[in-house]
Structure 1
């Protein structure tokens, strides 16, 4: 099963959670189990639950902020691998691709692009495991998982039942779902319905359209879309690189705030009073208007690289929405920076930014 007792791991006792997260932060857990298939996962969780052992389920660790004190229990790492590509479904004119929860996300995207399947290419370069994508309803460059999701295989820890559920049952929203912030239902595999004509999803994101030199709404070869997205993400420090501390992050730390129509005029008034009558990025949202968190952070006075070149935790030098570990940070350093940015934006504009990562043993 790949289970190891804490005493077998290293001289420090337990497993370092910093080694399991893209922020490279966090204390230690008592032990680690790697579940390579669903049967192993069920057996491991049953054994740990019967022992009364707290469990932290981890995939790629790209969306976790773990406290310096660590986690008082065992980490179960999702390692269910394998990608299965179906035949063309003539009724829907799509191809269903099924991936285990532990499959590296960008590996899956690259695989589908190599097969000329379209739908995932705009999500290229996002770190993490496939199982986390429906939980967060991951999105980038005008595409969300909700746009391509076919079904999700879920383990109910209370009953041990494993079943496929439809996207409608997941209450997918902006960077959220009915699976977020709960551990009683665990994603074990994900199925995506993709196009098979070699073309991308319609290019909706204006910045990406500009790089591709097409009008918004156009479709381009999937390989071209993937390469353009990777270039954009690398330029923002959003593609993992062990030698680049700008990528030692959890990606975008804050979600873009959605402001209700009732509150919007007052907030816009405060923005104009501070920065002048300039174009304000805003986009339609289900419950109001979505503002750009990165834009607000910069206009509140937090520039790239804030607070200083020698700070252990800094805003990325490439993108103000990423909070980064410069190599010697502690989790508390990162959280102090997050609080400073959150409180500064709230004081300047009356908008409270919410963290996107899952916080384990800590809070803002």
Structure 2
């Protein structure tokens, strides 16, 4: 199949080479697809034969079992990009930050707040990726999908994707494969309105202002680097899946007891970060983790898996961790927050062959 469709075949491939956590056991076979035509043909053929398939993009939101996967891994490596006067087109395998850098460098605004996020362009609508007050869903024009049941390739609008906070109908589903994405962009080279206080403050701006996209990108990259959220092979704080837990949304009927539990632990008068959320009030997962007693670098010592020393929301591989080590840390933190505040944190990465 690799020769027939132009894919590159490797066998017994350690998947830790392809995830930002540097974790994951072997795949019996990997097919790297560097064009959209190859990608479509390979996935159609594998699906038609009933072969188990794992789609692999940038590996930034993936947690793979130590035992690996008993499946053929299809690596999405189509990476063409095109810039228009008011839009950005990227194939699914394009490195996301390269897409942002190219757009900003060409004088297009809109994507700058999403600078420094690891992974591929094709993953951005799946997760409805967001940072510093901007979500992909607000910029998407359309997404090209392969329907794996019918083999049909078509463009869909954002309305068809069920986009929500860090989710979409594409997440945790094998029904469709993202082939390409197209985003709206600002031809004036200015940023999206600044909606995140930390970013606005760093820029010396008021919330709601717009600033040159080049400057906003520079500041975003600096802020992310300070939290260990820009990939650096020499920095184990970046050997992570980014924010491991999503910010919990507490329903209205549960908010009062949750806030009471928080106040009982941290004291009256402490400002509890709260934001409007889908169907409730969104709390800060990182803030809750710290107040539950899990500080930066927890559990310390020579533990192979630890919280980042820069950002408590990142669970990191210190160089010798296994997936089981990371899962144990995730369960420890999740259960501790639930015991302290009655709030259950949900993991953001997609787990393959394992569960938190």
TM-score by length of 1: 0.95
Q: Distance in 1 between matches of 2:204 and 2:230?
A: 23
Match for residue 291 of structure 1 among 278, 283, 290: 283
Q: Distance in 1 between matches of 2:280 and 2:219?
A: 30
Match for residue 146 of structure 1? 137
Q: Distance in 1 between matches of 2:225 and 2:166?
A: 22
Query: How far does residue 5 in structure 1 lie from its aligned partner after superposition?
Result: 4.9
Q: Distance in 2 between matches of 1:116 and 1:311?
A: 45
Q: Map 1:227-246; keep pairs closer than 5 Å.
A: 227-246=218-237
Query: How far does residue 63 in structure 1 lie from its aligned partner after superposition?
Result: 0.1
Match for residue 35 of structure 1? 33
Match for residue 98 of structure 1? 89
Match for residue 152 of structure 2? 161
Residues 236-257 of structure 1, C-alpha deviations (whole Å, 9 max, x = no match): 0000000000000000000000
Query: Helix, strand or coil: the match of 1:159?
Result: coil
Number of aligned pairs? 350
Residues 188-227 of structure 1, C-alpha deviations (whole Å, 9 max, x = no match): 0000011111110011000001100111111000011000
Residue 3 of structure 1 pairs with residue 1 of structure 2: no
Query: How far does residue 74 in structure 1 lie from its aligned partner after superposition?
Result: 1.1
Query: How far does residue 157 in structure 1 lie from its aligned partner after superposition?
Result: 1.3
Match for residue 117 of structure 1? 108
Match for residue 73 of structure 2? 75
Q: Distance in 1 between matches of 2:51 and 2:13?
A: 15
- Which runs of no fewer than 5 residues in structure 2 stay unpaired? 1-5
Residues 106-159 of structure 1, C-alpha deviations (whole Å, 9 max, x = no match): 000000100111110000000000000000000000000011000000001121
Query: How far does residue 46 in structure 1 lie from its aligned partner after superposition?
Result: 2.7
Q: Distance in 1 between matches of 2:101 and 2:64?
A: 29
More moved, 39-48 vs 69-78: 39-48
Kept in 1: contact 2:63–2:349 (CA 8 A)? yes
Match for residue 127 of structure 2? 136
Query: How far does residue 49 in structure 1 lie from its aligned partner after superposition?
Result: 2.6
Kept in 1: contact 2:47–2:148 (CA 8 A)? no
Match for residue 3 of structure 2? none
More moved, 39-48 vs 352-361: 39-48
Residues 66-118 of structure 1, C-alpha deviations (whole Å, 9 max, x = no match): 0001100111011111111223xxxxxxx121100000000000001001111
Residue 56 of structure 1 pairs with residue 47 of structure 2: no
Kept in 1: contact 2:79–2:90 (CA 8 A)? yes
Match for residue 273 of structure 1 among 264, 267, 272: 264
Q: Which aligned segments of 4 or more residues in structure 1 are displaced greater than 4 angstroms? A: none
Kept in 1: contact 2:195–2:207 (CA 8 A)? yes
Residues 279-338 of structure 1, C-alpha deviations (whole Å, 9 max, x = no match): 000101121110000000000000000001310000000000000000000000000000
Kept in 1: contact 2:113–2:131 (CA 8 A)? yes
Query: How far does residue 45 in structure 1 lie from its aligned partner after superposition?
Result: 1.5
- Which runs of no fewer than 5 residues in structure 1 stay unpaired? 7-13, 88-94
Residue 333 of structure 1 pairs with residue 333 of structure 2: no
Match for residue 258 of structure 1 among 223, 235, 249: 249
Query: Helix, strand or coil: the match of 2:312?
Result: coil
Query: Helix, strand or coil: the match of 2:241?
Result: strand
